[in-house]
Amino acid sequence: MESGRPEFIAVYGRRRIGKTFLIKQYFKNKFDFYMTGVEGSTMPEMLEYFNVQLQQYSGREWPLASTWMKAFRQLQEYLSSLKKKRIVVFIDELPWFDTPRSKFFRALDLFWNGWGDSQMNLKFIICGSATTWMTNKLLGDKGGLHNRVTRQIYLAPFNLYETEKMLQSNGILWSRHQITECYMVVGGIPYYLSKMDKTQSVAQNIDRLFFHHAGELRNEYEFLFRSLFKDSIIYRRVVEVLALKSMGMTRENIASSLDVSVGGTLTEVMENLITCDFVREYNAFGNKRKGKLYQLTDLFTLFYIKQIKNARTHDEDYWLTRIDSPSHRVWAGYAFEQVCLHHIPQIKMALGISGVATQVSSWRGIEDGKMTGQIDLIIDRRDETINLCEMKYSLREYDITPAYLKKLIERMENFRESTKTKKALHLTLVTVNGIRHNAQWGMIQNEVTADQLFKPLQ
């Protein structure tokens, strides 16, 4: 805003992340021109809406434009008449204007390159939830708008620290265990967090939002994918097959499960899911080039697929009755692992290795075609140490039994033998409420609690 030159600003991120809220709050909802795209609208409908907005902001009558080229010419004429230090234009949900055969993108190109980029007082802000359109068509354009965006702001979900701050600002004073459980369901999505009622428990909020017949988030899953991706069906199929494999899958495994080819469309789908923070791509330990694995990490999507998609219930207290049930424990274990993977910088901080170069990976041992063990989070450090991390969710302090300790040690030795590593191996447990200090506890070199995941990054 203070640059003294024309700015073409792109703000993007998934649905419900708070893009529009951020921009409107900053500008106190005062713009020289504003319009927003609507999913499924036709070109004539959008042109009529454009005309209404132009008349409202300019205070004069304009003929209804028949093309986007004419519409942007009218916008240029109106903005040229303004004698202001700064002119702020905000076009929200830009991708929905780009309907088939509308030539909207070409008109936008000519508007900016033919006039906008020479207006020293113009701040042109565009926003979109269809992240793939924003990154591929706008930011990745090879034509007239190539490298024309002067500033990019990608809004990512909140981490636990930011989530706690937001809940507190809304009068919600939950314990960090409760906030972690809330995060395991909706992730750090501000809109979902804003729906939490301070008079209810976490479980009551989940029942109200997801399992009541009129729950506000009951049908959010379909809207979410439809708003982000043009062909949402293939994207949903991919995340649903990934939800079945907590360790992740190779691209070949995914293609085989969906009966599609490995290249082409699947490559684009995987890249887009990674860009939109639904899936993470990582290497197996010691394998930097081959065997990339893909893992579903979006917590809201994981919760929907695991707990809602196939739930045939009209019980509006469904979630309350399932706390600590076997299916709840399975989901909670996987979801807590993903929370930890979203907070690797905080885990490193808790281990006192923030300044140490590291590589993060996972490992699975295979012998005679059978899996002998797996480790979900490995932090390979430059200081000749490897943290073998186990993430464990429990309602109370985690109790390491002799049998579980034996399993940990066997897995560590299996890892050492399989990888031939000479580095020191540290058994590291990440838990919600800490580890009970029993006879087995002393064999654990490092422990990290959910409390430490709430630390702000320095």
Asked if 17 and 110 sit in the same domain, the reply is yes
User: According to the model, what pLDDT value does residue 288 have?
Assistant: 61
Asked if 134 and 262 sit in the same domain, the reply is no
| CATH number, domain containing residue 392 | 3.40.1350.10
User: According to the model, what pLDDT value does residue 374 have?
Assistant: 85
User: According to the model, what pLDDT value does residue 313 have?
Assistant: 62
Asked if 330 and 361 sit in the same domain, the reply is no
Asked if 314 and 366 sit in the same domain, the reply is no
Asked if 149 and 195 sit in the same domain, the reply is no
Confirm if 96 and 37 have CB atoms less than 8 A apart: yes
In a domain, 414, yes or no: yes
Asked if 251 and 129 sit in the same domain, the reply is no
| CATH number, domain containing residue 62 | 3.40.50.300
Per-residue buried b or exposed e for 98-110, using 16+ beta carbons within 10 Å of the residue's own CB: bbeebebbbbbbb
Mutual orientation of helices 232-242 and 251-258 as an angle, nearest 10°?
Answer: 110
Asked if 176 and 117 sit in the same domain, the reply is no
**Average pLDDT value for residue range 16-22:** 94
In a domain, 137, yes or no: yes
Q: Which of 154, 179, 198 is the last residue of a domain?
A: 154
In a domain, 255, yes or no: yes
In a domain, 2, yes or no: no
Asked if 132 and 248 sit in the same domain, the reply is no
Asked if 142 and 186 sit in the same domain, the reply is no
Identity of residue 54: L
Asked if 22 and 68 sit in the same domain, the reply is yes
User: According to the model, what pLDDT value does residue 237 have?
Assistant: 94
- pLDDT surpassing 80 at residue 4: yes
Q: Which of 321, 342, 363 is the last residue of a domain?
A: 342
What domain range is 332 assigned to?
158-342
In a domain, 103, yes or no: yes
Asked if 71 and 194 sit in the same domain, the reply is no
pLDDT, one tens digit per residue, over 303-347 is: 999 998 877 666 778 888 888 788 888 899 999 999 999 999 999
- pLDDT surpassing 80 at residue 145: no
Number of structural domains (the chain) is 3
Percent of the chain residues topping a pLDDT of 90: 70
Q: Which of 138, 154, 170 is the last residue of a domain?
A: 154
In a domain, 1, yes or no: no
- pLDDT surpassing 80 at residue 230: no
Asked if 177 and 299 sit in the same domain, the reply is yes
- pLDDT surpassing 90 at residue 174: yes
pLDDT, one tens digit per residue, over 190-202 is: 999 999 999 999 9
| Half-sphere exposure for 280 (CA within 13 Å, toward CB) | 18
User: According to the model, what pLDDT value does residue 77 have?
Assistant: 98
More confident residue, 80 or 289: 80
In a domain, 115, yes or no: yes
User: According to the model, what pLDDT value does residue 120 have?
Assistant: 96
The candidate with the shortest Cα–Cα distance to 119, out of 49, 19, 29, 32, is 32
In a domain, 458, yes or no: no
- pLDDT surpassing 70 at residue 10: yes
**Average pLDDT value for residue range 2-17:** 92
